[in-house]
Amino acid sequence: MSATTTATPTTGDVRIPLRAHLRHTGALVRRNLLWIRQDPESMFDAILMPIVFTLLFVYVFGGSIGQALGGDQHAYVQYVVPGMMAMMGMSMAMSVGTGFNQDFNTGVMDRFRSLPIGRGSVLFAKIAVELLRMMIATTIMLIVGVLVGFDITDWGGLLAAVALAALFGSALMWVFLTLGVVLKNAQSVQGLGFLVLMPLQFGSSIFAPTDSMPGWLQSFTDVNPLSSLADAARGLMVGGNGPIAHDVWVTVGWSVGLTAVMAPIAIHKFRTKS
């Protein structure tokens, strides 16, 4: 007597409808939110980082850089708070890479990949929850900014700047999700993230004007997408005579380009990781 076995198709063998993808993503978002509820310490970076960095830069550098801007500490607050939106996106993007890597090392992702769900749903759910954390961090930063003197004069511009920062932050998350898959441990993701993060953040117009920087560094800041995002947010929130539309479109272009390139790579690496 012979027995035959019929292989059950996995998600890699069949095409999952869009509605099912959305349902899977929603369920995974809920799972991630419940995990945060059980582990509130995981929100410490989103809550404390914007408070610490805003107070640090305003009260340590505000006087001297404010004078360079032709004003005082109040002038620096108007400069640095919009710029720090770019920093929020990059920091949250790095944390999604480390968390994703930890999920692999603890076996969580192996369980997800054994389920009949869309592979991309796992990554989209991670990004959705991290964007929520980013919005919380940005809100806290703006509250602290208002408390130290930031003036909100254009609510429409504020919302546009937040949306632009979220768009760019989500694009960066695909980069760090890829790193979270290909690197061996969370320390490697964090270490490589800092090597990328520090030059991009401080070699930009986030914290200080670039006019006094050496020529070679100004050339770098001119093509640094964080400079474009910071300048765009600054123009949208506090106004100015700069080319705001140019910076907005440059930021949108970087966001679309990074997502178009890195999202398929991240999903492919996730599907094929052994």
Taking only the tens place, the pLDDT of each residue in 101-152 is 887 777 777 677 676 677 678 888 889 999 999 999 999 999 999 999 999 8
Query: What is residue 15's predicted lDDT score, i.e. its pLDDT?
Result: 67
Residue 257, domain extent: 43-272
Helices 155-182 & 225-238, crossing angle to 10 degrees? 160
Query: What is residue 10's predicted lDDT score, i.e. its pLDDT?
Result: 43
Given pLDDT bands bounded at 50, 70 and 90, which one contains residue 242? Answer: low
Q: Give the distance, in angstroms, between the CA of residue 87 and the centroid of all CA atoms in the same chain.
A: 8
Q: Is residue 192 part of a domain?
A: yes
Mean of the pLDDT values across residues 232-237?
A: 91
Mean of the pLDDT values across residues 179-201?
A: 86
Q: Which of 226, 12, 262 is nearest to 127 (CA)?
A: 262
Which residue type sits at 40? P
Query: How many domains does the chain fold into?
Result: 1
Counting every residue written for the chain, the total comes to 274
Q: Is residue 3 part of a domain?
A: no
Q: Does the pLDDT value for residue 169 go beyond 70?
A: yes
Q: Is residue 22 part of a domain?
A: no
The mean-pLDDT minimum among 83-92, 121-130, 168-177, 239-248 falls in 239-248
Report the distance separating Cα 192 and Cα 200, nearest Å: 13
Q: Does the pLDDT value for residue 2 go beyond 70?
A: no
